[in-house]
Chains A and B, each alone.
Chain A
């Protein structure tokens, strides 16, 4: 593994760190809301990763204006894809929160372990 290359791609490094933080929250925390927050952190790490791919040194926004050369613009495709990704992330979070509200109504708790325990009985 080339270490200097990872340092050069510092955005990728931090998206990996964010992803691990999110994964930790999703797997370890018993509270469902905390799991959801972890899921959102993981989504954010993926957004950071994909938007970073499109980066250009000294790049300009991909909007056609006078005096801005197209060769200096950043890659617009990752940004367009991430716009879609953010909307989908918000939608899934909304549905998950609705399920959390219903679960809390039924079990009086948001602790996943407690809910699983009581589910069988």
Chain B
């Protein structure tokens, strides 16, 4: 009976969605409303106005900078929430059994990870720094950094990676994405223009372009490093809590 009810409800939702989709203009048309209003302007003047060859980066950091500053805050809030729910590692409150345990992994896996990790991190740096003229950007690079550290943790165990990235060095870096964004945003306010204006008053010509791309790069690096470190901290916190629980169960 329950199964029948659920199937019926799902079918109803599906029919409503299909009806809506059936009314949509076909894909591929240039005349669809999403491509006729603001998009041509973004595509034609994006490089000049937003200062990035990659139009998407221009939209994220310039046209819709407010949106992105909120997004950066969301990742930071996620870290805050995870730490509030679970426990942060602290000096003097170390859970010795968890912090000292090592994982058994095969030599092949360890060697492969050792060789590939530098390349992965190099790729992450490239992605972060080249978000402006090519596909990439801070969020993507940050995800690669986070993934590389998570891979290392899975293979070598939490104690080794906590020793490599101790909380003392992670905590200051966790907030660089929010702080970097706000610093660049309020730089304009301090000089008498609007929040998140990259064309500062008193700077003209080629210098203005250089300053703008420098500011964009600072924001990208902040987003990348901050995002990566936040992911690492979230995962470390979760693994610690999980192993602590396992230990309680066996004890």
Contact = CB atoms under 8 A, between A and B. Distances in A.
A61 B43 CA distance: 11
Interface string A9-22: 10111001001100
Interface residues of A, number: 53
Interface string A23-44: 1100110000000000000000
30 contacts: A8-B27, A9-B27, A20-B10, A27-B9, A54-B35, A63-B53, A63-B55, A63-B134, A64-B53, A64-B55, A71-B43, A73-B55, A75-B34, A75-B39, A76-B43, A79-B56, A83-B139, A84-B68, A87-B74, A90-B78, A91-B74, A91-B75, A95-B78, A98-B81, A98-B237, A98-B241, A99-B85, A101-B238, A101-B241, A101-B245
A61 B134 CA distance: 10
A56 B28 CA distance: 4
B22 A6 contact: yes
B27 A91 contact: no
Contact of A101 (B24, B53, B242): B242
B86 A102 contact: yes
Interface in B18-70: 18-19, 21-22, 24, 26-28, 30, 32, 34-35, 38-40, 42-44, 46-47, 53-56, 59-60, 64, 67-68
Contacts of B59: 76-77, 80
B55 A76 contact: yes
Interface of A: 1-2, 5-6, 8-9, 11-13, 16, 19-20, 23-24, 27-28, 52-57, 61-65, 70-71, 73, 75-80, 83-84, 86-88, 90-92, 94-95, 97-99, 101-102, 104-105
Contacts of A95: 78, 81-82, 85
A16 B17 contact: yes
B78 A20 contact: no
B38 A77 contact: yes
B194 interface: no
Nearest to B16: A16
Contacts of A54: 34-35
Contacts of A75: 34-35, 39
Contacts of B137: 83
Contact of B234 (A1, A79, A94, A104): A94
B176 to A, nearest CB: 16
In the complex, which of the residues B38, B53, B82, B134 has the most CB atoms of chain A within 10 Å of its own CB atom?
Answer: B82
Contacts of B241: 98, 101-102, 105
B225 to A, nearest CB: 15
Contact of B6 (A24, A102, A105): A24
Contacts of A65: 53
B101 interface: no
Given A6-B22, A55-B28, A23 B238 contact: no
A97 B82 CA distance: 9
Contact of A102 (B13, B28, B64, B85): B85
Contacts of B78: 90-92, 94-95
B139 A98 contact: no
B201 interface: no
